[in-house]
Structure 1
Amino acid sequence: MDQKQAEIRALGVLTWLVGNEELLPVFLGATGADEADLRTRALEPEFLGSILDFLMMDDAWVIAYCDGEGLPYDTPMRARQALPGGADVSWA
């Protein structure tokens, strides 16, 4: 997955979050973002990465998103790896 595809996927996750009345407030609280940030920062690759990071905090959220979109469960992880700050970290 390239960065453009990852950005499109992260925007899909953002759309899913905005439509989820229970989870959106959790996202806003966890990230410190507000609704204005969703509009003004939605095209920033770093912000899109934070959306994917949030989604991947809970397997149930990943499953719900991916099942709703008909995507493999590793899609958010692959998208995150293609965005800034998402490269695999080697501790060795």
Structure 2
Amino acid sequence: MAPRQSFPDAEALAVQALGFLAAEPERIGPFLATTGLDPANLRAAAGEPGFLAAVLDHIGSSDSLLLEFAENLRLNPEIVAEARRRLAGDAPGPGEFA
């Protein structure tokens, strides 16, 4: 069984995910539309509780986006879901690692 991801590791992954989104207009556009943010207030929002979990929610909401991000970092896509749960403070669900 793999060790549970630390909160700082989950934060770092979410920051990487935000950078991944911001690198391409076609990736950041839908995220901004979903959140109601614009580029001018994105940086301020990044300091808000729950923002980094929302970034990972967005990445995980699209299989193609999730797989592209995971492939880009050469990691298992399940790590993204685990990081989102960690940032949101969610307890593991049935069959998930504690």
Shift of 1:88: 4.4
Where do 1:73-88 residues align within 5 Å? 73-88=77-92
Counterpart CA distance in 1 for 2:90 and 2:21 is: 20
Distance 1:62 1:88, change over 3 A: same
The question of whether the paired residues in 2 share the 8 Å contact of 1:52 and 1:80 is answered with yes
TM-score by length of 2: 0.81
TM-score by length of 1: 0.86
Where do 1:48-67 residues align within 5 Å? 48-67=52-71
Residue correspondences, number: 90
Distance 1:59 1:83, change over 3 A: same
Shift of 1:44: 3.3
Q: Segments of 4+ in structure 1 off by > 4 A?
A: none
Unmatched 5+ stretches in structure 1 = none
**Superposition RMSD in Å:** 1.7
Distance 1:84 1:73, change over 3 A: closer
Q: Percent identity?
A: 31
Counterpart CA distance in 1 for 2:84 and 2:44 is: 20
Higher Rg: 2
Shift of 1:41: 2.3
Report the counterpart of residue 5 of structure 1 in structure 2. Answer: 9
Distance 1:2 1:45, change over 3 A: farther
1:82 counterpart SS class: helix
Shift of 1:16: 0.2
